[in-house]
Amino acid sequence: MCVMDLSAVGKSESSESPFSQPLISIVVTHHNYSKHLKGALQSILGQTHTNWECVVVDDFSDREHRHGAVKIVDEINDERITVLLSESNKGQVPSFFAGLARTSGEFVCLLDPDDRYTPTFLEDSLAAHLNLYVMTPIVCSDQILVTRRGPIGSGQRFSMYRPAMSKHGAALEIPEGQKPNLLFFDASLPGWHCTSTSSMMFRRTAINYMRPHKTLAYKGGADAYLARGCHLIGGTLFLGKALLYRTLHDNNRWISEHIYASSQDTRRPDSTQWSKECYEDVAQALLASELSETEKDRIRKIQYAPKRGPFHQVKRWGRSIKKRLPLQGIKKRPPATGGAKPVVAQ
């Protein structure tokens, strides 16, 4: 665990320096979402970090949406944005890797057509990756949930910050004076440490090891597949700053738009959970990749380790203390003049 100071990141180089604006690749996977696509691409065009490339991968949409996606890109007419048309409906994960093959940036994002970046998404996510203390395959930021009625609140801060506030060692929060807050979750820590697909920025060198080696049973699940794979091989950085507008509507696969509290179950009643399958599939892909045998052994130890709750270590410490101190034999007398000391029962 380490405290991270972002204040020096990206400040020493001038805006003209090639080192201050590395190329960032953005893949937009698209299937019958053309009515949302234009807004997503406009949010990329408005980024403060301008050295980016974007490929829209149409995953064999219906004719109307396929033509609509091509028309939107043509009308925007920016050479940094291209379209790749799939010949069959392969799903979000294969579509992402198809788009990845058409790009070359070291840092890669996956944007859903119905989500919107804030203007500093690329800049701030990149700064988190380039912090001076720890390197991870993935940075994920907080997000603002939006419905057709407007913003309704944050999407993840409560559940992300709970481990840090409980002080059981699952995460370390930057001191309050350091903004934005950055949490590091070690690869050995189980659980979900991200928000959703569009709030993630990956390192290409890491996700290259995650290419599926089989046909996946699900069409969605790219966030669970990529985030869990990244966490497995190098841990996760969570940036406590809302850098994404996540749109909630009737066609969301997972999250319901009827949200009123951070602690409620936000799943849609008809949602399908593929998280376990994604974890197993990406682990298999990593073990079949060109990772070193040392890395693969470490992945196996994490993957097949008994799943324990976050307070497991605290409970162990408590049991250890009880064994070493005669706490059970201590009795206290009622206060007397001058006070009385605890007496160990004989």
What pLDDT tens digit does each residue of the chain (346 aa) get?
A: 333 434 334 343 444 555 668 999 999 999 998 999 999 999 999 999 999 999 999 999 999 999 999 999 999 999 999 999 999 999 999 999 999 999 999 999 999 999 999 999 999 999 999 998 899 999 999 998 887 777 767 655 545 555 444 444 445 454 444 456 888 999 988 888 888 899 999 999 999 999 999 999 999 999 999 999 999 999 999 998 999 998 875 665 556 656 656 555 566 566 566 788 999 999 999 999 999 999 999 999 987 766 554 444 445 555 555 555 554 444 545 555 554 443 333 3
**Phi/psi of residue 59, each to 5°?**
-90, 60
Write down the pLDDT at residue 306.
Answer: 62
Number of H helices, E strands in the chain: 10, 12
**Which one is the CATH code of 24-255+273-303: 1.10.3720.10, 3.90.550.10, 3.40.50.1390, 3.20.20.70?**
3.90.550.10
Helix (H, G, I), strand (E, B) or coil at 170: coil
H/E stretch holding 247:
strand 236-247
Domain boundaries, the chain: 24-255+273-303
Whole-number Å distance between alpha carbons of 45 and 121 = 12
H/E stretch holding 54:
strand 52-58
281: closest CA among 231, 193, 217?
217
Q: How many CB atoms sit inside 10 A of residue 27's CB?
A: 26
Whole-number Å distance between alpha carbons of 135 and 66 = 38
Write down the pLDDT at residue 43.
Answer: 98
Q: How far is CA 225 from CA 33, 178, 275, 299, 311, in A?
A: 21, 31, 8, 15, 26
What is the DSSP secondary-structure string of 182-243? EEEE-TTS-S-----GGGEEEEHHHHGGG--SS--S-S--HHHHHHHHHHHHH-EEEEEEEE
